[in-house]
Amino acid sequence: MAENNMPSKDSEFDVLFKNIVDYSDKKTSGENPAWRHILAASLQELHAAYDAWKAAYEPTKVPHTPVQTAEKNRVRKSSEKVLRDFVNRFLRYDPVTDEDRDNMGIHNRKTSRSPVPVPTTSPQLLIDTGTRCRLIIHYRDEKSGRRGKPAGVHGIEVRWAILDHYPVTSKELVNSAFDTNPPLILEFDEQDRGKRIYMAGAWEIQREGEKGPPGAIEEAIIP
């Protein structure tokens, strides 16, 4: 798999996806505790994405309708994003080895690049509350003012919490979401509507998840 691309053929994408899921399952089991850097919630999200992809893809392997094709294409787009984010966050660096990546079908990066420096700036969060039970979060760099990530930054970690008071420090933001391709979308239950949420972001590079300084704590009302 090329760094920024997935196989164009659905059959090859399906094989790659299953290889990565199965291999990650094996390595995160008791057999190899060194792979504990992979978050259980992220692995569950990967499984859910693969199950959704398989359910949409299987009907198109036999004579099928244009509606089924459209659904397969829609699900592939969303599941591909989950897979790419998982690979880039957890499988590009130690303790995952070049041999591991070869076994999964992931292209190994060249090692001649200069290390990416840890970010020194912070993201500003732009929170859209126009959709019921959903927050759509765009972000920009505090220095450049441009939307999206600064050069060399892999993604953004957004820490958040639903609280009845303004947090004293960002340590009170106990939940975490990660995004590499804006916007970041947070979904909430109906009972959360009207509650106050606080959040702050930090840029993250790929080297061992190193982060820059957290941005200002923003607040919003869950719509």
pLDDT digits (tens, 9 = 90+) for 180-192: 888 899 999 999 9
- Whole-number pLDDT of residue 2: 41
Least reliable range by pLDDT among 51-65, 85-99, 110-124, 183-197? 110-124
Structure-token match 């829609």, residue found: 74
Question: For the chain, what are the domain ranges?
Answer: 10-104, 123-221
Q: How many angstroms separate the CA atoms of 14 and 89, rounded? A: 20
CATH number, domain 123-221, options 2.60.40.680, 3.40.50.2000, 2.60.40.10, 3.40.50.2300: 2.60.40.10
Residue 207 has pLDDT above 70, yes or no: no
Residue 170 has pLDDT above 70, yes or no: yes
**Mean pLDDT for the stretch of residues 51-69:** 94
Per-residue pLDDT tens over the stretch 95-117: 888 888 888 988 876 555 556 78
Nearest residue to 76 (alpha-carbon basis) of 154, 9, 22, 124: 9
Query: Edge-to-edge strands of the sheet including 155-162?
Result: 175-179, 155-162, 196-204, 218-221
Q: What is the DSSP letter of 88?
A: I
* Element holding 124 (H helix, E strand): strand 123-131
Mean pLDDT (the chain) is: 88
Which 3-state string (H, E, C) describes 22-83?
HHHHHHCCCCCHHHCCCCHHHHHHHHHHHHHHHHHHHHHHCCCCHHHHHHHHHHHHHHHHHH
Q: What's the pTM?
A: 0.52
Which 3-state string (H, E, C) describes 136-176?
EEEEEECCCCCECCCCCCCEEEEEEEECCCCCCCHHHCCEE
Nearest residue to 170 (alpha-carbon basis) of 219, 211, 214, 208: 214
Q: How many angstroms separate the CA atoms of 158 and 178, rounded? A: 6
Do residues 111 and 192 touch, judged by C-beta distance below 8 A? no
Do residues 101 and 24 touch, judged by C-beta distance below 8 A? no
- Whole-number pLDDT of residue 54: 95
